[in-house]
């Protein structure tokens, strides 16, 4: 065996060992939302699946949601649909009483519509009801405002949506994220990134870039803002 072949095999063995070590460490403890966000930033679909499988309750649903998003970005529509359906099923069990479950379920239904637009009418009504119910319970929840913004962005002005409504909701979300948070805290970097996306749509390139930079101050590893900022410089 040549020294070059030996070196190549050693490198492959090391890479495999590191990969197995990562997956074993994930399985050794209960996954957290932070773990899931880190895997999402790396677009590590396998780690997202492992984290989801090792979780339960809201964290499992959140992991399935992020796994669905990542699978869609990677072009795997079957996995995207499967994970979105898993997340929806888990959240429907607790959405009657739990505001955070309602908010995440609204986001999951939006994802399901993107996978299968024929669900738009039925799930669209469910999204509106979930948002309305959550507003009754926790009107200042920043993730609720974030989901409202995303929903408004994809809804025509004639049907009550539009960019301006989305921006208003994002302002509310970003203000809400400034409050102390100790448990379910995801979404702040995402809110800034959404605002940057809308500014970009409006031709406000400098304002868009500033929002993505702000997102990276919140989370230096946030993948979507990193991508948008890099694309804006091309």
Q: Give domain status of residue 209, yes or no.
A: yes
Q: What is the domain extent for residue 187?
A: 140-234
% of the chain at pLDDT higher than 70: 88
Supply the pTM of this predicted model.
0.85
109's CB contacts (< 8 A; 6+ apart) are: 88, 123, 126, 127, 130
Q: With the C-alpha atoms ordered 218, 220, 222, 223, is the resulting torsion angle positive or negative?
A: positive
Q: Give the model's pLDDT for residue 29.
A: 56
**Which structure tokens are listed for 234?**
């091309």
pLDDT of residue 98 exceeding 50, the answer is yes
90's CB contacts (< 8 A; 6+ apart) are: 57, 60, 61, 64
Q: Give the model's pLDDT for residue 26.
A: 40
Residues 33 and 128 in one domain: yes
Total of domains in the chain: 2
Q: CA-CA distance, 44 to 11, in Å (whole number)?
A: 21
* Alpha-carbon distance values, 115 to 75, 140, 160 (Å): 11, 30, 23
Residues 129 and 34 in one domain: yes
**Which structure tokens are listed for 209?**
């870039």
CATH at 153? 1.25.40.10
pLDDT of residue 18 exceeding 70, the answer is no
Q: pLDDT (tens digit, 9 = 90+) per residue, 40-90?
A: 999 999 999 999 999 999 999 999 999 999 999 999 999 999 999 999 999
Mean pLDDT in residue range 150-162: 93
Average predicted confidence (pLDDT) for the chain:
89
Mean pLDDT in residue range 172-195: 96
pLDDT of residue 97 exceeding 60, the answer is yes
Q: Where are the alpha helices (DSSP H) in the chain?
A: 3-27, 33-41, 45-53, 57-73, 77-92, 99-115, 120-137, 142-153, 163-177, 188-201, 205-218, 223-232
pLDDT of residue 110 exceeding 80, the answer is yes
Of 138, 164, 197, the domain-final residue: 138
Of 115, 138, 161, the domain-final residue: 138
Q: Give domain status of residue 22, yes or no.
A: no
Q: With the C-alpha atoms ordered 22, 28, 34, 35, is the resulting torsion angle positive or negative?
A: positive
Of 114, 138, 162, the domain-final residue: 138
């Amino acid at each position: 065996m040549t020294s070059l072949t030996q070196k190549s095999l050693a490198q492959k063995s090391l890479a495999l060992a590191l990969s197995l070590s990562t997956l074993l460490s994930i399985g050794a403890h209960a996954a957290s939302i932070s773990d899931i966000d880190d895997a999402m930033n790396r677009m590590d679909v396998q780690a997202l699946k492992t984290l989801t499988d090792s979780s339960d309750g809201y964290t499992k649903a959140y992991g399935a949601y992020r796994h669905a998003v990542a699978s869609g970005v990677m072009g795997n529509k079957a996995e995207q649909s499967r994970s979105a359906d898993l997340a929806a099923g888990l959240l429907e069990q607790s959405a009657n009483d739990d505001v955070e479950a309602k908010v995440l379920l609204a986001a999951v239904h939006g994802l399901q519509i993107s996978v299968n637009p024929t669900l738009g009418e039925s799930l669209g009504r469910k999204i509106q009801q979930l948002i309305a119910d959550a507003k009754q319970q926790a009107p200042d929840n920043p993730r609720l405002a974030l989901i409202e913004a995303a929903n408004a962005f994809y809804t025509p002005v004639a049907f009550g949506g539009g960019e301006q409504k989305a921006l208003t909701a994002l302002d509310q979300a970003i203000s809400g994220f400034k409050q102390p948070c100790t448990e379910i805290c995801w979404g702040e970097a995402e809110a800034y990134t959404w605002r940057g996306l809308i500014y970009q749509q409006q031709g406000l390139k400098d304002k868009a870039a500033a929002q993505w930079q702000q997102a990276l101050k919140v989370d230096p590893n946030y993948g979507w803002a990193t991508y948008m900022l890099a694309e804006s410089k091309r």
